């Protein structure tokens, strides 16, 4: 039997990303339709406001204008995540920080990591990339005349998640003819083999499809409630389980950091994302080590007071992922697939990755579905496990001793075996490409380099020869000069955003 009718249950960023990926892939496929059912009563969570550079490729492939996207979704550019206080203040100074940049490290050919390891005086990122200087100067990654989705420096975006979902919805409906149904799904019916046979809705009655995409968020209406696919708990490795979130108004003339700020605290960390008109702030913590009242007090202190005048809310975080992401004729995406925590903006990243994978491997018939299901589950499990390891890396490398939270994060029993093996290897070898052998690495060599050595990991390497030292010093100094030049040439971040909103990106 051919697969002719595909339904996505749930809107928001996950649902509409899936709709655009599938809508584009199937647009010219005869007699195949894509429908998205969205509840009028369930608001989007709306805190997933950070992305990684891979999102640019998807947006461009959907035919979305970058200028329109920036203007309509309160977008700001994100060139990095700036991690503050993730190391012990007594050993590294109050306000210690490092950048996880989006530009490749050591772009001139020579790996400058051994040079940095021989000195360790400067911030690692400042040694290996000119983007460090541009970020610290609050510069945009491009000029008004730079083509859409291109830049002098690597970048992603901060965005208003609710407005982003609306833009994706408009694009999916108009460009790819995705049918949009407003209804609540009251029942999921299964057939004798345990597959989904139909959905019962409150306004459109019973609807039958061939393939069901579950984008119903934490509710996981189909994959969990109906199909009972088990959940793999990762709370013993990733210890945070709650977030206190708030939106903070900002002055229209206030400078905008071109990076996410991630500030560590006693039992977790705080994200601080500046959009063009407000900041999205989230206090992430573990309830085992901190109660809600203390979290409120600490967030209020971080904001300089006034939290009681703002609308804040708590979000529970169940940390883990589904045992299977594709089961029978149902595929789950977004928060229905799982959730780890907001560090490194992994939620939108994994959703975009999974939706693109399905679009490129769309099963034309039920007979072909089993093979693709098996492969998809293998790939996604690999991806989720690698994300668990990368997030854990930030915690287990910290030398903070001010609370049991940080001490417990270094307990070997909380560190994934594969991560422990790699860290042991990297005690005597600088990471290289061969350590990341899969095409499905969500975080790759450059990501690990920035975090490992941003957090002062002490790899013991052989001393550089005079020739190697001379070449590395020359390249590092040249990168510093490029950084200074970019700081002079690139516009201030808010200045560029204002020009894009008024005029759009201009072709030369």
DSSP string computed for 131-159: HHHHHHTTB-SS-TTSPTT--SS--EEE-
Alpha helices (H) in 397-465, listed in sequence order: 404-409, 417-425, 445-454
DSSP letter at 259 equals S
pTM confidence score: 0.95
**Which pLDDT score, from 0 to 100, does residue 507 have?**
64
In contact, 18 and 215? CB cutoff 8 Å: yes
Instruction: For residues 395-424, give the mean pLDDT.
Output: 97
Tell the burial category of 90 from Cβ atoms under 10 Å away from its Cβ (0-12, 13-18, 19+).
Answer: exposed
Instruction: For residues 444-451, give the mean pLDDT.
Output: 97
**Which pLDDT score, from 0 to 100, does residue 439 have?**
80
pLDDT digits (tens, 9 = 90+) for 86-102: 999 988 988 999 999 99
Alpha helices (H) in 397-434, listed in sequence order: 404-409, 417-425
Tell the burial category of 299 from Cβ atoms under 10 Å away from its Cβ (0-12, 13-18, 19+).
Answer: buried
**Which pLDDT score, from 0 to 100, does residue 368 have?**
82
pLDDT-derived band of residue 435, with 50, 70 and 90 as boundaries?
very high
Q: How many beta carbons lie within 10 A of that of residue 203, not counting itself?
A: 9
Instruction: For residues 124-135, give the mean pLDDT.
Output: 97
In contact, 100 and 122? CB cutoff 8 Å: no
pLDDT digits (tens, 9 = 90+) for 315-324: 999 999 999 9
- The length of the chain is 508
In angstroms, rounded to a whole number, what is the distance separating the alpha carbons of residues 261 and 105? 20
Per the DSSP assignment, residues forming a β-bridge with 314 are 244
pLDDT-derived band of residue 209, with 50, 70 and 90 as boundaries?
very high
DSSP letter at 344 equals G
pLDDT digits (tens, 9 = 90+) for 328-368: 999 999 999 999 999 998 889 999 999 999 999 999 888 88
In angstroms, rounded to a whole number, what is the distance separating the alpha carbons of residues 109 and 328? 48
Q: How many beta carbons lie within 10 A of that of residue 91, not counting itself?
A: 11
Q: Look over the chain and give the mean of its residue pLDDT values, rounded to a whole number.
A: 95
Chain centre distance of CA 435: 22
pLDDT-derived band of residue 454, with 50, 70 and 90 as boundaries?
very high
pLDDT tops 80 at residue 450? yes
Percent of the chain beyond pLDDT 90? 89
In contact, 355 and 406? CB cutoff 8 Å: no
**Which pLDDT score, from 0 to 100, does residue 48 have?**
53
**Which pLDDT score, from 0 to 100, does residue 283 have?**
97
334: number of CA atoms within 13 Å, CB side?
25
In contact, 422 and 390? CB cutoff 8 Å: no
In angstroms, rounded to a whole number, what is the distance separating the alpha carbons of residues 105 and 451? 12
pLDDT tops 60 at residue 22? yes
**Which pLDDT score, from 0 to 100, does residue 121 have?**
73
248: number of CA atoms within 13 Å, CB side?
21
More confident residue, 56 or 366: 56
Q: What are phi and psi of 389, to 5 degrees?
A: -65, -45
In angstroms, rounded to a whole number, what is the distance separating the alpha carbons of residues 5 and 384? 29
pLDDT tops 70 at residue 200? yes
**Which pLDDT score, from 0 to 100, does residue 1 have?**
74
DSSP letter at 434 equals G
Give all strands of the β-sheet with 338-339 in edge-to-edge order. Answer: 231-233, 320-322, 338-339
DSSP string, 227-239: T---EEE-TTTS-
Percent of the chain beyond pLDDT 70? 98
Helix (H) or strand (E) holding 358: helix 346-360
In angstroms, rounded to a whole number, what is the distance separating the alpha carbons of residues 436 and 434? 5
In angstroms, rounded to a whole number, what is the distance separating the alpha carbons of residues 331 and 214? 6
Lowest mean pLDDT among 32-46, 223-237, 367-381: 32-46
More confident residue, 29 or 167: 167
**Which pLDDT score, from 0 to 100, does residue 165 have?**
95
pLDDT-derived band of residue 377, with 50, 70 and 90 as boundaries?
very high
Q: How many beta carbons lie within 10 A of that of residue 305, not counting itself?
A: 9
Instruction: For residues 47-59, give the mean pLDDT.
Output: 89
Chain centre distance of CA 250: 24
3-class DSSP assignment, residue 276 = coil
Helix (H) or strand (E) holding 391: helix 366-396
In contact, 144 and 491? CB cutoff 8 Å: yes
């Amino acid at each position: 039997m051919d697969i002719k009718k595909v339904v996505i249950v749930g809107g928001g960023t996950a649902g509409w990303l899936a709709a655009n990926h599938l809508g584009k892939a199937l647009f010219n496929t005869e007699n195949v339709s894509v429908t998205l059912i969205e509840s009028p009563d369930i608001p989007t969570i709306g805190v997933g406001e950070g992305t990684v550079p891979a999102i640019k490729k998807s947006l461009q492939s959907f035919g979305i204008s970058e200028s329109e996207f920036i203007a309509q979704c309160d977008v700001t550019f994100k060139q990095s995540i700036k991690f503050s206080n993730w190391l012990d203040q007594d050993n590294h100074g109050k306000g210690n920080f490092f950048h996880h940049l989006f530009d490749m490290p050591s772009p001139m050919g020579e790996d400058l990591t051994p040079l940095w390891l021989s000195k360790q005086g400067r911030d690692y990122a400042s040694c290996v990339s000119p983007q460090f200087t541009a970020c610290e100067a609050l510069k945009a990654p491009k000029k008004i005349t730079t083509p859409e989705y291109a830049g002098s420096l690597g970048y992603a975006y901060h965005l208003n998640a609710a407005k982003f979902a609306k833009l994706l919805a408009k694009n999916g409906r108009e460009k790819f003819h995705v049918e949009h149904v407003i209804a609540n799904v009251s029942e999921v019916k299964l057939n004798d083999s345990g597959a989904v046979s139909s959905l019962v809705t409150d306004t459109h009655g019973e609807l039958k499809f061939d393939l069901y995409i579950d984008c119903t968020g934490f509710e996981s209406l189909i994959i969990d409630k109906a199909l009972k696919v088990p959940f793999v708990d990762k709370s013993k490795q990733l210890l945070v389980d709650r977030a206190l979130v708030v939106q903070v108004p900002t002055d229209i003339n206030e400078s905008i950091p071109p990076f996410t700020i991630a500030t560590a605290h006693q039992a977790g960390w705080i994200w601080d994302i500046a959009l063009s008109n407000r900041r999205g702030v989230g206090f992430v913590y573990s309830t085992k080590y901190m109660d809600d009242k203390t979290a409120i007090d600490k967030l209020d202190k971080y904001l300089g007071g006034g939290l009681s005048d703002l609308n804040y809310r708590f979000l529970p975080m169940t940390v883990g992922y589904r045992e299977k992401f594709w089961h029978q004729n149902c595929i789950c995406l977004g928060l229905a697939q799982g959730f780890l925590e907001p560090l490194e903006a992994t939620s939108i990243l994994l959703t975009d990755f999974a939706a693109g994978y399905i679009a490129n491997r769309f099963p034309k018939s039920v007979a072909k579905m089993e093979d693709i299901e098996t492969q998809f589950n293998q790939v996604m499990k690999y991806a989720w496990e690698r994300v668990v390891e990368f997030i854990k890396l930030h915690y287990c490398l910290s030398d903070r001793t001010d609370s049991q939270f940080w001490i417990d994060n270094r307990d070997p029993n909380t560190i994934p075996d594969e991560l422990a093996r790699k860290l042991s290897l990297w005690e005597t070898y600088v990471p290289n490409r061969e350590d990341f052998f899969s095409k499905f690495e969500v975080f790759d060599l450059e990501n690990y380099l920035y975090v490992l050595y941003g957090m002062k990991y002490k790899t013991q390497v052989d001393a550089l020869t005079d020739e190697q030292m001379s070449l590395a010093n020359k390249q590092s100094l040249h990168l510093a000069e490029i950084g200074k030049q970019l700081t002079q040439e690139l516009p201030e971040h808010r200045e560029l955003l204002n020009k894009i909103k008024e005029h759009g990106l201009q072709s030369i």
